[in-house]
Amino acid sequence: MSESVLNKLKKSAVISHVTVSESRLLVPLAQSKKLAALRQQSKAPQTLEKKPAPSTEIAASGLNKDISGLLNEAQEQVNAKINELMALYPHGKKNKMFALKYGAPDRIKQMNLKAIFTRLAMDKPKKFALIQNLDYFGNVTMPVEVVNPNERT
């Protein structure tokens, strides 16, 4: 307000009060279809939909049965660990918070298994040396050193 308006208000000493009545919602909360859909969506558990490659595809790529069995086990362990870690985060921010700390699940699966197990702080199974240079899908990768984000130096 300008000074002249304030001076006039002070001189007249009449100040009117404005009251605002509450506005009603257009649709009551209990009848809103959009809110009902959001409530249903939040009740449904979110899991990682990606499944490991079937063992027939892995065996066809030139891996023997021992290695393909170890690879299937490792894939199941990685999927379980990713789902377990994602379950720790709030519903609407699972993917973003998981990606900030560990990396996107798709990017993790492109790394070799040694890096994946280190990044997710998982225990390595027996005979892990046979599969440590394979990626999640059974392709041979170059070894890469990755630090565990949970360890602080």
What is the average pLDDT across 101-113?
A: 92
User: What is the rounded CA–CA span in Å between residue 6 and residue 17?
Assistant: 15
Cα(65)–Cα(38) distance, rounded to whole angstroms?
Answer: 46
Q: How high is the pLDDT of residue 58?
A: 44
- Cα distance between residue 83 and residue 31, in whole Å: 34
Comparing 82 with 45, the larger pLDDT belongs to: 82
Type of residue at 138? G
> Measured between alpha carbons, how far is 120 from 101 in angstroms, rounded to an integer?
10
Cα-trace Rg, the chain: 29
pLDDT digits (tens, 9 = 90+) for 12-29: 555 566 665 666 667 777
Looking at residue 120, its pLDDT comes to 93
- The pLDDT value given to residue 86: 93
For range 33-41, the mean pLDDT:
83
| Axis-axis angle for helices 65-87, 94-101 (nearest 10) | 120
Q: Determine how many CB atoms are found less than 10 A away from the CB of residue 116.
A: 25
What average pLDDT does the chain have?
Answer: 77
Percent of the chain with pLDDT over 70: 63
pLDDT at residue number 21: 62
Contact present, 77 and 71 (Cβ < 8 Å): no
Domain ranges of the chain: 55-130
- pLDDT tens track for 51-100: 555 544 444 356 788 888 899 999 999 999 999 999 999 988 899 999 99
pLDDT reported for residue 25: 62
Q: Tell me the torsion sign for CA atoms 74, 76, 80, 82.
A: positive
In the structure, what pLDDT confidence band is assigned to residue 43 with cuts at 50, 70 and 90? confident
